[in-house]
Amino acid sequence: MDIDLDPIESIAVPIYHHYHATSAKAITPFLHAIKRGELMGHLSSATGKVLFPPLGACPESGEATHEPVILKDSGTVIGFTTVHLPIPGSKLVPPFTVANILLDGADQTCSHLISECELGDVVIGMRVQAVWRPKDQWDYSLENIEYFKPTGEALVDVDELKQHCLERAKLRVKNRVKGNSTEVHHA
Amino acid sequence: MREVGIIAYAQSPQIRQERALNEVEMLMPMLKVALVESGLTMDDIDFVCSGSCDYIAGGAFSFVGAVDALGATPCKMESHVEMDAAWALYESWLKIQSGEIKTALIYGFGKSSVGSLPDIMSQQLDPYYMAPLWPDSISLAALQANTLLQTGRYNEEDFAAVVVDSRRKAKANDNAQLFGDVSIEQLLAEPYIASPLRRHDCCPITDGVSVMIIAEKSVATKQCERPAFIRGIDHRMEVHQLGLRQLAESTSTTLALEKVKEQSGIGSGGVDIAEIYAPFSPQTLILKDALGLTDTVNINPSGGALAGHIMMTAGLDRMGMAYRAISEGQANRALCHATSGPCLQHNMVSVLEGI
């Protein structure tokens, strides 16, 4: 009787698909920039906010973004978590800390690793600085930054930082209306 | 039933390969075109629904990324179907029927050029018996075409005649990828790719996006001079296993048509044009029979899916093309069809009418 058969708990059905994708219009300049060691965001002309990493669309306005802004490689920890479980397929050995970092001059956080400190020392508002891999290893990848490390500067009040960002964005829109140039900005 | 009208439609050119832009970048300008046509802004849109499939371009969560193009901060009421965008329209239509919303924006996108679409389509088959054998969508359509030949209703010349008709009509469609004058003799001289199908019997690999806006009657008549009202809409699905189906028939299409007749009082004899989503030429003939269409009806004046086939919007595009014909006064009533799944497994029928 079928009912007496051992249950089959797994069968292997491997699936492979091959794609020939190209990077998008907005992402291509970002990838070239990171290869040079530059962090390129996009200024949203509708909101005055600098989006990093840039996706080519401003999620608040739905407008296309293309105006490049080169950002510094320092920032502030806005949120973080310490991962204790291994992630399948990941090169990272737990425990490690992943943070949402607001780069100086940006209005949107990006995620990266925090290292060169004790796990318990990471706090919201901590100032951090990128640690780059050796230049000869740079590729079209955010992995050119190995991790961010604490700078030792005083903690930042995140609410005040948010307020500052909002005011700065308004000012950018205002300045733009006056007819500022649209060349590459350095935040 | 609340009356719902299509009030705007925008489709990107149906090109063979878009190398520079991703789906979001292709979508943004078309959203603008549709909104301008509707006279509405994103703030006026109550609900957004999209149809796409991440397997096609191989980008995980590309359907979520597309939401950026909507200006979705703060949040919009939004939904997605892993189906042709015609089903996103159906979900939106139901939401209007419920009285919850008055306007909906529907979009779909497909960038098939980056992968091997016929192989990717085998992933929709059942995971134990069919998918591990990797039957690609062209081979399955060929199996269906051979079944049709066996019935003696049609021959390979009839398949070629469908292609000749599509290419000729597509000359008037600015967004068509394949168009022109070809003869049955020329086509039949081409080699098979999976007998009895030749390359031209298959829809072309296409990159593109489409956007549509629908609205409840009070908004539709205010915003649009000549909306295309959805008088009836229904969809029916057949079983998953191909061996259990009558492949030379489309029973689900016929059943959906009967429901649409009950809703609208309009049958296939009462329409001026029909836009049928048949990705393979023999399917046009199967569907023509299933819908009871005669030669008095102009079938696929846009050229249909054989002239351009944005995977995941080609069904919505049929309604879009019918809306165009109605809004421009070339037709008053249109029968529309959309399909999903292998060998016409799942079929949607609708009837559109001008005022």
Using pLDDT thresholds of 50, 70 and 90, give the confidence band for residue A184. low
Residue A179 predicted with pLDDT over 70:
no
Q: Is the pLDDT of residue A7 over 60?
A: yes
- Residue-level pLDDT at A185: 63
CA distance, residue B115 to nearest chain A CA (Å): 4
pLDDT in tens, chain B (355 residues): 899 999 999 999 999 999 999 888 999 999 999 999 999 999 999 999 999 999 998 888 888 888 888 887 778 899 999 999 999 999 999 999 999 999 999 999 999 999 999 999 999 999 888 988 999 999 999 999 999 999 999 999 999 999 999 999 999 999 999 999 999 999 999 999 999 999 999 999 999 999 999 999 999 999 999 999 999 999 999 999 999 999 999 999 999 999 999 999 998 889 999 999 999 999 999 999 999 999 899 999 999 999 999 999 999 999 999 999 999 999 999 999 999 999 999 999 999 999 7
**Cα dihedral sign for A177, A180, A181, A182?**
negative
Hey, how many other C-beta atoms are within 10 angstroms of the C-beta on A134? 8
CA–CA separation, A153 and B349 (whole Å): 65
For chain B, positions 84-143, list CB contacts with chain A under 8 A: 114-116, 119-120, 123, 127, 131-132
Nearest-angstrom CA–CA distance, B327 and B304: 18
Chain B residues close to A59, C-beta within 8 Å: 67-68, 71-73
Given CATH 1.10.150.120, say whether it is the number of domain B4-116+205-223: no
Q: Given this model, what pLDDT does residue B52 score?
A: 95
Residue A57 contacts B where some CB pair is shorter than 8 Å: yes
What is residue A101's predicted lDDT score, i.e. its pLDDT?
98
Residue of A nearest to B43 (CA): A61
Residues 6+ apart with CB under 8 A from B8: B34, B35, B37, B38, B211, B212, B213, B224
Nearest residue to B71 via CA among B95, B48, B37: B48
Residues with Cβ < 8 Å from A10, sequence gap 6 or more? none
Chain B residue nearest residue A11, CA to CA: B128
Tens digits of residue pLDDT in A24-78: 898 999 999 999 999 999 999 999 999 999 989 998 988 999 899 999 999 999 9
**B149 reaches A (C-beta below 8 A):** no
* Residue A139 distance to chain B (closest CA, Å): 20
Band of residue A177 on the pLDDT scale cut at 50, 70, 90: confident
Name the one residue in this structure whose structure tokens are 């479980």.
Answer: A85
Q: Residue B135: its pLDDT value, please?
A: 94
**Residues B127, A63: C-beta atoms closer than 8 Å:** no
CB of B210 within 8 A of CB of B103? no
Please report the number of interchain residue pairs, chain A to chain B, with beta-carbon separation below 8 angstroms: 71
pLDDT given for residue B59 in this prediction:
82
pLDDT at A1 over 60: no
Q: Test B59 with A57 for CB contact under 8 angstroms.
A: no
Gap between the Cα atoms of B262 and B242, Å rounded: 29
Phi, psi of B264 (to 5 degrees): -105, -20
Helical (H) or strand (E) element with B48:
strand B47-51
ipTM above 0.90, yes or no: no
Contact criterion met (CB < 8 Å) for A59 and B55: no
> Are A19 and B115 an interchain contact pair (Cβ–Cβ within 8 Å)?
yes
pLDDT in tens, A130-170: 999 999 999 999 999 999 999 999 999 999 999 999 999 99
Query: Testing the interface with B: which of A25, A31, A108 to mutate, by most B Cβ within 10 A?
Result: A25
Q: Phi/psi at A29 (nearest 5 deg)?
A: -65, -35
Contacts of B215 (CB under 8 A, 6+ apart): B4, B5, B7, B38, B96, B102, B103, B104, B223, B224, B227
**To the nearest whole angstrom, how far is the Cα of A147 from the nearest Cα of chain B?**
25
Q: Do A62 and B22 touch (CB under 8 A)?
A: no
Residues in chain B within 8 Å Cβ distance of A19: 57-58, 114-115
The pLDDT, as a whole number, for residue A187 is 59
Q: Which of A22, A25, A62 sits opposite B71 (nearest CB)?
A: A62
A 26-45 residues with CB below 8 A of B?
A: 26-27
Q: What is the DSSP string of A95-158?
A: SEEEEEEEETT-SS-EEEEE-SS-GGG--TT-EEEEEEPPGGG--SSGGGEEEEEE--PPPP-H
